[in-house]
């Protein structure tokens, strides 16, 4: 399988548009403290894979393997509805860390709003 040398650019610049459909208005509800979802675990796995990918030799077997795992974890993060506040925070943190330059340049108001929502969900001030 051949991979393009531009994959590293994709990671840095990929917009996370799917978040809009992943968090409908009905998601603004009270979260049960008993419920658990895997988003925080997936986010931590994604961060680890991201570091491994950045350290891997370009176009190596390891790089290809880590890339495939990274994409699989990203799919879980953005396609699985969060059922807890922590899960929603993990999704937002993924979005904010995935494409900050794209948001800063093209969508500064969206970026500001996401940061405010993230901060509010975390229980702090912006």
Model confidence, pTM: 0.67
The pLDDT tens digits for 42-86 are 999 999 999 999 999 999 999 999 999 999 999 999 999 999 999
**In the chain, domain spans:** 36-122
DSSP one-letter string for 95-124: HHHHSHHHHHHH-HHHHHHHHHHHHHHHTS
Q: What is the C-alpha end-to-end distance of the chain, expressed in Å? A: 45
């Amino acid at each position: 399988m051949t991979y393009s040398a531009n994959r590293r650019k994709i990671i840095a610049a990929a917009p996370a548009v799917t978040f809009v459909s992943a968090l409908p208005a009905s998601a603004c509800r009270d979260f049960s403290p008993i419920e658990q979802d895997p988003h925080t675990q997936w986010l931590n796995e994604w961060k680890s894979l991201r570091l491994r990918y950045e350290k891997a030799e370009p176009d190596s077997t390891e790089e290809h393997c880590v890339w495939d795992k990274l994409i699989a974890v990203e799919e879980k993060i953005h396609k699985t509805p969060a059922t807890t506040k922590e899960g929603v925070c993990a999704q937002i943190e993924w979005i904010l860390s995935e494409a900050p330059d794209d948001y800063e340049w093209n969508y500064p108001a969206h970026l500001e709003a996401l940061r405010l929502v993230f901060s509010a969900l975390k229980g702090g001030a912006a």
